[in-house]
Structure 1
Amino acid sequence: MIKNLSVFITIFFPIFSFAQDSEYNISSFLNIGEKAQNIHHIGDAWLNFLSKADEDYNYNVVMATFSPNSTLDWHKHSTGQVLIVVEGEGYYQERGKDVIVLKKGDVIKSEKGVEHWHSSTPNSKVSYIAIYENEPTIWTEKLTKKYYDNID
């Protein structure tokens, strides 16, 4: 048995190693990413840049994870944004509209120039993939803890 395992490893390990050649740019949304500085949010948040914008792809693909009871400030994008919820529950609101709850599997588009915010709920973390063009986010207003705590 040990001899067979040794032969298997000797033959197939180089093949498996070669399959993960550095010629490919592979990332995983299963990694939580780096903890974000608390500049435009309250609570704990992590960002995993799955694909950064470059000369060939003018958009970012980012996995964001917010711990329960974390908020993101009001902001807008000059080119729009797509959010794909992959885990948990979160809040989403556009200026002048009601807050909605987003759940795993939900996809929402934030149209360009529309002020909005998104966050986790008080009792659930949320992870979503955000897709947006390579233009800076425009931060417009602090989302207060008092406002967040009064969401029904």
Structure 2
Amino acid sequence: MRFVLTLSVAMPSLALGQTANTVTGPQAATRGPADTFTGTVWVTSLIPNDSIFTTISGSVAFEKGARSHWHSHPAGQILIVTDGIGYHQIKGEPRQVIRKGDVVKCPPGLVHWHGASPGSKMTHLYIIPNTEKGIVTWLQPVTDAEYSKK
């Protein structure tokens, strides 16, 4: 006697227009706006926000000396430095040097900035989880004195 076992796997329902596997091609880089960055910065979106993954991701390429403004993320942010040498600073703490291969975890709600050093470009991937809590609150520019202070 032979038995055949059949398993049924429930798949979550997908929203209209979604497929189980989505592959997207490279997105065009856009220049970072002057109201959130100082200097020349190029931003490439990799994973757009949606209600399933509630995570966004992208790449930011900073030219020498370019930097973000002070900002915070309600659910935090993860940075993965993919090229160059730059800086990261949490408000009230010393500036840190970051290099290719470094991973930076920016805790939820803490005001910080990041950017390239004066002598090197710097590129990082960013991951912002739990976007249902909010994505980013932009604040004032990082002054030249703040940028240069060790």
Q: TM-score, normalised by structure 2?
A: 0.78
Query: What's the offset of the Cα at 1:37?
Result: 1.9
Conservation of the 8 A alpha-carbon contact between 1:32 and 1:65: no
Match of 1:25 in 2: 23
- 2:135 corresponds to which residue? 136
Q: Is the 8 A contact 1:81 1:112 kept in 2?
A: yes
Paired position in structure 1 for 2:90 = 94
Equivalent of residue 43 in structure 1, options 39, 45, 56: 39
Contact 1:83 1:129 in 2 (8 A): yes
1:141 alignment partner, SS class? coil
Q: TM-score, normalised by structure 1?
A: 0.77
More helix as a share of residues: 1
Does residue 73 of structure 1 match 2:72? no
Cα offset, 1:71, TM superposition = 1.8
- After TM superposition, the runs of 4+ consecutive aligned structure 1 residues lying more than 3 A away are none
Q: Point out where structure 1 has 5 or more consecutive residues left out of the alignment.
A: 1-22
Report the CA distance between 1:24 and its aligned residue: 4.2
2:100 is the alignment partner of 1:104: yes
- What letter is aligned with 2:135? P
- 1:108-149 Cα distance to aligned partner (Å, 9 max, x none): 10010111110100011110000003323112332112322x
Alignment RMSD: 1.7
Determine the C-alpha separation between the residues in 2 that align with 1:25 and 1:97. Answer: 40
Matched residues, number = 127
Matched, 1:147 2:146: yes
**Identity over aligned pairs, percent:** 28
